[in-house]
Chain A
Amino acid sequence: MTETMAFVVDMLVHATPLVITGLAVALAFRAGVWNIGADGQFIAGATAAAWVGVSVPAGIGWLALIIALVAGVIAGAIWAAIAAWLRSRFGVLEVISTIMLNFIATYGASFLVRGPLQEPTHVYPQTSGIVSGAHMPILLRGTRLHWGFVIAVALAVIAWWVMKYSATGFRVRASGVNPFAARSAGLIDVSRVTAFAFVASGAIAGMAGAIEVSGVTFALYENISPGYGYTAIAVALLAGLNPLGVIGTGILFGALETAAGTMQRNIGIPSTTASVIEAIVILAVIAVAQLRANRVTTSA
């Protein structure tokens, strides 16, 4: 396998969780929900998938993978539902609650891998390996590239279609852009629609966590997410919240992170350079968007 090939594989492996969590963020933002908690929902999904992966009997084969993914989706949805409920019941801003829930998820996972779910020797802060039936099949023989990337692309296409062509997607977009008009002119139950989008966003982020465990780590570790859920915000914004665009921006950020590791190993450039570049990209995008908005207002 050539070096380029190895880089592409690594890039796509890195891009997979970024694309999926990016979709989760894009969906929420489209609905006017500021879900900053994709990271927590990712961890919740990863935790649930790992727990299922180590608990189910090895004899059930590939069913273990299905159960693990479903568990991840449900866990992510529940994690988001907590914030959605706090928002609708008490008016707690989701920007605050989701960030707090990120910390709870991070430290909750730390507790589990050092306590109840720790591997039997009690040496390492991680779970045992998940059963082989729960492993995501490999897409490209001899590499780490797994089917999760295909799932990510498929999810993006589905999300794009739903937002553009389905009645549900239209309600989500209308509620997100102008909840007042959605309510008054469209008679849409805006709080229900946004709560639905919030939970769906969490479910998608949870699925990303489950795919990471079943396709890459095969166990739950501390710090299983190096901040995917936060990078996802940049991925989604850079794509203009367009699900198809998220595929491209997810791969771009995947490449940046992969390259960061390579550069550090080979020529000693600090890997944090990638974070600097990411930040510059985000600032540039915001600046361009603002410039465009200003031009529209002054010409109007």
Chain B
Amino acid sequence: MSDVALELASITKRFGRLTALDGASLQAMRGTVHALLGENGAGKTTLMRIAFGMLRPDSGSIAVDGTGRSFASPADAIAVGIGMVHQHFTLVPAMTVAENIALGGRGSFRPAKIRDAILALSERTGLAVDPSARIEDLPAGAQQRVEILKALSRDTRILILDEPTAVLTPTESRELLQKARELVSNGGTAILITHKLRDALEFADDITVLRRGSTVWSGRASEATEETLVAAMLGGERTSTEMQPVTAIATNRNATVLSLENVSVRDDAGVERLRYVTLSVHAGEIVGIAAVEGNGQRELLRVLAGRMRVTSGDVRIPAVVGFIPEDRHRDALIQDFSLRDNVALLGASTRRGVMGWAAIGRQTRELIRDYDVRAPDELTRARSLSGGNQQKLVVGREIEGSQTALVAENPSRGLDVQATAAVHARILAARDAGMAVVIYSSDLDEVLALAERVVVVHAGKVTEPSREYESIGRAMLGLPVS
């Protein structure tokens, strides 16, 4: 038998017009921890869902222990010893640890027997849990241990962990990764999906890096450096000419439109998301935000757009700031409303008396025409439009609705090449018309293609490194910028 526990070769997966995986490959050896690195949207989770039988690849092959496999469902993957712990817990809060672990198993439920089995497994793996505790009473770290035990309780030899440290405190994270190392010592395999470079370098034996659905780097962790991984993840090998903005007018400093001074934001759990952020955005410039997911960029964008209250600090923004949120379906549009009714959301909070439907209808027809939204008429439901046309409507509504400032979060997410180009052209046109624009994208290329200034958010703090891949990438990971 070969030493390769899991081999994924040339996997391609498309969702409609979006190609999530484009010939991605991964080879995980027995007795190793394998890190799967990549930016958000690089295809890490999709690839692992294919390995776990949740999705079927359009092309490519899967081999477990050297035998070719094709999974119709996770049950098939579990049968050959693959287990997966998802990013979001799948435990039933009101049930006990034992009940959750037994859930989905076969045969009768005998509490005492399950309990003994869990305690034995718990002792063998060193993952301490109380089988009779209720899930809802447990902290996140303990819930994570239950998820892992649940996966291991089915004779799992290949354990996939999707961003396992995302909900854990730093101490819990270290303990968990330490445990992953111990678990593979007797020939098992752990695949760790992460975007944390340091975790990969410190705890993994091998590393595979995905970028835009393709494997761009793979090798031993001992041979990798932060620099090579950053370059692979962010595509730093591209020539520097490609990252020049279309037109740079940064020399011409106009009036400040958006300004934050010592702004801090705490979330509901009391965690500080932004720490003393000071930032100004001027009329006629595009400021790009670069950040690894979860570093406070989400909050920063919403504060700039007037969509989030700050805990402390001074925020000066216009009364209406256009905002293009990344989750278009949830936050930007009401799918069951007509295009006209979606445009009516503009200023909906302050409108008094009667809705001027005739005027709003006219405004919608103008947007449809000016922003090239492909729709039969303004009474069409938003749901029936393609993602690109929906986004063009949102971009138009937000630009025309504000005229002074625009904040965009992953504005091209889920769009095809043409729609992306159209959205970019609109954002650049808004800048040229004198709007202050802030754009965040999880794809650094997109940020660099549009923005003349790039601001990095890391752990809630904002820095402005020089506008190059190398320094931006280091700043995004919190490394000292040389």
Contact = CB atoms under 8 A, between A and B. Distances in A.
B330 A180 contact: yes
Given A167-B353, A167-B355, A177-B334, A182 B348 contact: yes
A223 interface: no
Interface stretch (A186-194, A195-203, A265-273): A186-194
A189 B350 CA distance: 10
Interface in B292-324: 306-307, 323
A171 B348 contact: yes
A174 B354 contact: no
A121 interface: no
Nearest to B397: A185
A181 B334 contact: yes
B348 A187 contact: yes
Contact of A177 (B336, B344, B346, B384): B336
Contact of A181 (B306, B345, B351, B383): B345
Nearest to A189: B349
B331 A181 contact: yes
A180 B327 CA distance: 10
Contacts of B394: 185
A166 B327 CA distance: 28
Contacts of B346: 185-186
A178 interface: yes
A170 interface: yes
A165 B357 CA distance: 8
B183 interface: no
A296 to B, nearest CB: 8
A2 interface: no
Contacts of A300: 383-384
Interface string A151-181: 0000000000000011101110010011011
A54 to B, nearest CB: 41
A298 interface: no
Contacts of B335: 178
B344 A170 contact: yes
B352 interface: yes
Interface string B383-403: 110000000001001000000
A209 to B, nearest CB: 31
B337 A174 contact: yes
Interface string A57-80: 000000000000000000000000
Nearest to A185: B345
A230 to B, nearest CB: 27
Interface residues of B, number: 31
A170 B337 CA distance: 11
A184 B346 CA distance: 10
Contacts of B332: 181, 184-185
Q: Is the interface of A mostly helix, strand, loop or mixed?
A: helix
A184 B407 CA distance: 12
A298 to B, nearest CB: 14
Nearest to B307: A184
B333 A181 contact: yes
Contact of A170 (B323, B333, B355): B355
A184 B354 contact: no
Contact of B355 (A165, A182, A185, A188): A165
A188 B333 contact: no
Highest count of chain A CB atoms <10 Å: which of B348, B351, B383: B348
A188 B354 CA distance: 16
B83 interface: no
B288 interface: no
Contacts of B213: none
A32 to B, nearest CB: 12
Nearest to B334: A178
A31 to B, nearest CB: 14
Interface size class of A (residues with CB under 8 A): 20 to 34
B351 A182 contact: no
B330 A188 contact: no
Contacts of A184: 307, 323, 325, 331-332
Contacts of B336: 177-178
B355 A166 contact: yes
A178 B348 CA distance: 14
A178 B353 CA distance: 22
Q: For B333, B355, B384, which residue has the most chain A Cβ atoms within 10 angstroms?
A: B355
Interface string A29-42: 00000000000000
Contacts of B353: 166-167
A177 B349 contact: no
Contact of A166 (B331, B337, B354): B354
A186 B394 CA distance: 12
A167 B348 contact: yes
Contacts of A178: 330, 333-336
A171 B349 contact: yes
Interface string B15-37: 00000000000000000000000
Nearest to A161: B354
Contacts of A169: 355
Contacts of B341: 170, 174
A167 B307 contact: no
Given A165-B355, A167-B355, A170-B344, A185 B333 contact: yes
Given A167-B352, A174-B334, A177-B336, A186 B357 contact: no
Given A167-B348, A174-B348, A182 B354 contact: no
Interface in B368-384: 383-384
A300 B334 CA distance: 17
A185 B357 CA distance: 18
Given A165-B354, A166-B355, A167-B355, A181 B349 contact: no
Interface string A254-283: 000000000000000000000000000000
A186 B348 contact: yes
A190 to B, nearest CB: 10
Contacts of A171: 348-349
Contacts of B348: 167, 170-171, 174, 182, 186-188
A166 B344 CA distance: 12
Contacts of A167: 348, 351-355
Nearest to B343: A185
Nearest to B331: A184
B431 to A, nearest CB: 22
Contacts of A170: 341, 344, 348, 351, 355
25 contacts: A165-B354, A165-B357, A166-B355, A167-B348, A167-B353, A170-B341, A174-B341, A174-B345, A177-B334, A177-B336, A178-B334, A178-B335, A178-B336, A180-B327, A180-B330, A181-B330, A181-B333, A182-B345, A182-B348, A185-B331, A185-B346, A185-B394, A189-B349, A300-B383, A300-B384
User: Across chains A and B, which 10 residue pairs bring their CB atoms closest together, nearest first?
Assistant: A186-B348, A186-B345, A167-B351, A184-B331, A187-B349, A178-B334, A185-B345, A180-B330, A188-B349, A181-B334
Given A170-B348, A185-B342, 18 more contacts: A167-B348, A167-B355, A170-B351, A174-B341, A177-B334, A178-B333, A180-B327, A181-B331, A182-B348, A183-B331, A185-B323, A185-B345, A185-B346, A186-B349, A187-B306, A187-B307, A187-B349, A188-B349
